[in-house]
Every structure is written in C-alpha cells, then in structure tokens.
Amino acid sequence: MVLLVHPFGNANVRAVLQALEEAGLLSRFVTTLGWSTSSYPALSDHIRGKLRRNYPLPADRIDIHPVREVVRLLATTFGFQRLTEHEAGWASIDKVWASIDREAARCLRKGAYGEDLKAVYAYEDCAEAVFSVARDMGIHRVYDLPIAYWKTSQRLLREEAQRYPEWEPTLGATRDSERKLARKSRELELAELVICPSEFVRSSLPAEELGSRQCLVAPFGSPTVDLRAAVTEKKADRPLRVLFAGTLSQRKGLADLFLATKLLDTKTIELIVMGSLLRPLNWYRQFADFIYESPRPHAEVLSLMQSCDVLVLPSIVEGRALVQQEAMACGLPVIATANAGADDLIVNGETGFLIPIRSPQAIAERITWFTSNRDQIAGMGIAAQTRARELTWRGYGEKVVAALRELIHQ
C-alpha cells in the first residue's frame, strides 16, 4: 500500500491518486482540505461539482489537516499579508507545505496508516519529515519533483535577476532561505525513486544524484477538447492572436516576450496575456501593449485559447507547463523553450517551434513566421492536437504506478 502526501491535489496529483486507487494500492491521501465525492449526499451534483477539492475516493482514504490552509485562504481573501509573508508568515504557503509534511510524519510514526504500508509518495517541499520516518521504518520513498531541481532553478533565476533587475520581484524563488533550500536537498537525499514530468527536470538533477537512484520521466496528460464547440471564427485578415498564459513573471520569460514585440510589426499581431499578476497591471504596461485577461475557470481558459492562433511560452524554468498541452489540445501551435518541458511536444515546423531561452530575437522571428504563413496554422493546429491526445492522464498515472510496483517488489 502507498501513502500519498500533497497539500492541494493538482491535476497530476489526482491522476496518481486515481491510478493508485484503481490498482488497489492507495492507503491514504494526506492533504490540507478535501472530501470524498460520496460525502454530503444531500448536495446536488451541480453544487458538488463546484467543490474544487472533491476527490473520487472513499472518505476513509482522505486524511485532512486543514487549519493552516484555512487561515491562509482567509488571510489571502481579507488581505492579512503578514500571515502569508514568504516563509515567515504562520500561514504562508511554505508553512502549509511543511506542516502537512510534519503531520504525515507524525501519523506515520504512530502507525496510523496500517502495517501493510510499502511506500510513501510525496512532493517537493512536503517530503523531508515523512521520508525520514519512512526510511527509519524501512518504507520506500518516492519523490515527485514537478519543477527543475532547486540548484538549477536558483542559478537560472539569479541570472535573470541580473539580466532584468526590475523583474526580480516576480521571480519568487530567488528569495528562498538557505534553510528551505537545505530541506529540498535533504528530500532528494532520502528519495529512492524520483518522478519527473520532463527531460528538462530530470537533467536538472545533480549527476551524482542521478547515478545513485532511479528516475522516471512521466509526461503529464492533456485535457480532451472538442473543437467543434469553438465559437470564434478565425479570419485571416485580422491580426495574429498571440497568447501568453501563466503567472506574469520572468520565470516564464514574459520580459523576453515583451521585448520581442518591439521587433515586430504590431499591426500584424494582437498579444493576449492571461494570468496572475505579481505587480500592478500598469507596471507591466510600461514594457508592451497587450490585452490583459485575468485568471478564470479551466473551461473558460480553454475557450479563450480557441479564440487565439498560437501560444508563446519562453520560460526560463518550468517542470512541464500544462498550459502547452492545453493549448495544443485546443488546436494551437506552440512556441516554447525546452526549459518549459516542451522538448518532446514540439516538432519544429509541425506542432510549433522550440526556441532558446533568453532570445527575444528568436521569439520575434517565429511569431513573424506565423504572420507570414497563416495558411499553415490550421494544419499545424491539427498536428498539435493529435500530439496532445497521445498524452493522457490515465497513461500518466499508470506509468507512475508501474514504477511504484517495480520499486515495492524489487
């Protein structure tokens, strides 16, 4: 049996949970807030579907520790910034991750998860304590690393802070403490199997760590999108709609994209920027002209994508940016870097273009190619959607579970 630890339950976490449950291997899901889809039977299906932390698991498989996360959500809503201050705030995101790790370790030490537990599956920033206890108890440790290893990330982002000092406040990780970074190192040291969503993440690991433990590259799944439901007619005589989707940070290469627009004929393109703001909106507008779209429910994101022509994601550091597969599933070619986890998604000239990091010139050249070859976009969009369909969440979960079985029975 396998114990899975994660504070929120993202799409990739849900895929692993489902695969473990279907394989009869899930012992417990340790999280902050969550409930079973079978709970509260009096609620209508419509209302239950609005509860974002619903899981198709039996209620006794979900072990919740909600206090810090509830305080974090309330503090965020009402603007109590001291409570959520980076690392220092009692209800900061860092404290939420560390707290769920400690709770899982405490319960594991007490034997709360049963005597037949064979492995602990935990994610970066919530694995140190539970892995330490698991090692002492002779239980296998599986580490899910959703983004490039911290040493690679820190190097790249510190270089970005020097390239664009004014964008440093958007980088976030450059302000991580030595204590937090040491915890990340300890997590990897304790792991036996590392799950990575892309070759970029795998290659970011130190060579000595790669040689001393198993590592699996398991690409994320894509959403299923029915393009027949698209309501926007794409006319060739309008500007090319170029979409950037993600947090408005230079970690995702937004400053490079803004610089690239200075090299373009702005009459031929329309830049749409969708995502969470890390600075006031007017601060971003000093760098480029764009249409801003705020974050929205997933179905509305997909609808916006279908109104655009191409996605651009010139990321400096990612793991496997899901937005790429979402856009491809919507029939959009993609311009992205290998650091976005796009190396196996993009075939140059067929599903989009791979570009080097830190190259506004390359971004501009590829956008210009699309403005000059509008007649090829539809065919590339079909190829992109075909590639996206080859990657499913079921396949992702099954690949992870197969590696888990091998670890447990070796």
pTM as predicted: 0.93
User: Which of the following CATH numbers is that of domain 2-221+393-409: 3.40.50.2000, 3.40.50.620, 3.40.225.10, 3.30.420.40?
Assistant: 3.40.50.2000
Please give the average per-residue pLDDT across 105-130, as a whole number: 97
Domain boundaries, the chain: 2-221+393-409, 227-389
227-389: which CATH architecture? 3-Layer(aba) Sandwich (3.40)
Are residues 22 and 403 in contact, defined by beta-carbon separation less than 8 angstroms? no
What is the per-residue pLDDT across 265-279, written as a single tens digit (0 to 9) for each? 889 999 999 999 999
Judged against a pLDDT cut of 60, whether residue 48 lies above it is answered with no
User: Considering the chain, what is the average pLDDT of its residues?
Assistant: 94
**Long-range pairs for 158-162: beta carbons < 8 A, 24 or more residues apart:** 160/250, 160/251, 160/316
Do 145 and 201 form a contact (C-beta atoms < 8 A)?
yes
Q: Quickly list H helices, 79-125.
A: 81-84, 93-109
Percent of the chain having pLDDT more than 70?
Answer: 95
Residues whose CB falls within 8 Å of the CB of residue 113, separated by 6 or more in sequence, listed in order: 1, 3, 27, 28, 107
Average pLDDT for residues 337-346, to the nearest whole number? Answer: 94
Identical fold between 2-221+393-409 and 227-389: yes
Closest CA to 309 of 272, 339, 364: 272
In the predicted model, what is the mean pLDDT of residues 124-130?
A: 98
Query: How many CB atoms are located within 10 Å of the residue 105 CB?
Result: 22
pLDDT at 227 over 80: no
